[in-house]
Amino acid sequence: MTFDLIKTDGHSSARAGTITTDHGVIETPIFMPVGTVGSVKAVTQQQLKEHVGAKIILGNTYHLYLRPGTKILEEAGGLHKFNGWDRPILTDSGGYQVFSLAANRKIKEEGVVFQSHIDGSRHLFTPENVIDTQRSIGADIIMAFDECPPYPCEYTYAQKSMELTHRWLARCVQHMTDTEPKYGYGQSLFPIVQGSVFKDLREASSQFVASMECDGNAIGGLSVGEPEEMMYEMCALCCENLHADKPRYLMGVGTPWNILENIALGIDMFDCVMPTRNGRNGMLFTTKGVINIKNKKWENDFSVIDDGLECETSQFYTKAYLRHLFIAGEFLGLTIASIHNLAFYLHLVKQARLHIINGDYKSWKSEMIPVLKQRL
């Protein structure tokens, strides 16, 4: 994997670049749709390409390890062949899911013993076997195994958690060195900065992560309940300490305005379940503001969902029809809303890139955020 920095905005830290992987080129800033179990909920791979314009999607190690399992994935030739997605894939290591979903988990130096949320079976995740699992999945970008502390948490807990994450990271890096990809193309490891909302811990963690000299770096443990301004402060601090010549990935963030603010701080990559999850609940993000499509005000609104998007789905279906689908409980409504929201997120980062290249990103962001936040 290579990263080429093309342009930095003159009035902020926003950057435009390109990430080149063996499965294709990704223009940054980029938003990555979340396909936890190998699929983006309610959206086909063809729709992701043709309507959404997705360049890279996510999978999750915890979920794919439990189901369908590495045996099936290896027999298929990796996740790309299993789900038919021929563009880049990133896999999260499963650390967050172990700590948020699994029952009766026990953290040890070796790793984490946990019970599956599906059937209660017991498993052990270690830095080494998580790398092995991601080798089997075959993602282009794989994440180091980490512990994501909750918010709020005590300083002492955050410090011990961060130090454990650092020791696990060293083992991940070593195991990456000791193993080879399974399917004939390269895989890149991204370590994850932790430290909760404590400045000294975030600084120490980002410096340690940078010292590992991996192909890119990630920032985790934010957008977990802390105030937005605190997230921005921590993100800015991390970016100051992470390589300028490598991609920076802010995990699990967020709203459209969160994304624009964090791009200004120097973030290149984003993922979040919000566009699909909120879409399935009737919340649409549009170029004019936020819509709750279930509201009666849209009952006889025969204008298209969003005429500001170059998305066939958003320009074809009307608000009144989409509201009807939700009120009637039709699955098609979930698909249309999910495609629209994802297309909007991809449109937003594409516009951000253009304004970075044009040198007016900061002023454009300031104009856009109030529009995006308004409820229609």
Q: Which of 92, 215, 268, 306 is catalytic?
A: 92
Catalytic-residue membership of 200 = no
Q: Do 190 and 149 contact (CB within 8 A), yes or no? A: no
Q: Do 263 and 368 contact (CB within 8 A), yes or no? A: no
The set of long-range contacts for 347-351, using a CB threshold of 8 Å and a minimum separation of 24, is 347/53, 347/287, 347/309, 347/310, 347/311, 348/31, 348/256, 348/259, 348/260, 349/29, 349/30, 349/31, 349/259, 349/263, 349/270, 350/27, 350/53
Q: Do 187 and 135 contact (CB within 8 A), yes or no? A: yes
Burial class (CB in 10 A: 0-12, 13-18, 19+), 264: buried
Ramachandran category for residue 240: left, alpha or beta (phi over 0 → left; psi -120 to 50 → alpha)? alpha
Q: Which of 146, 268, 271, 306 is catalytic?
A: 271
Catalytic-residue membership of 86 = no
Residues designated as active site: 92, 271
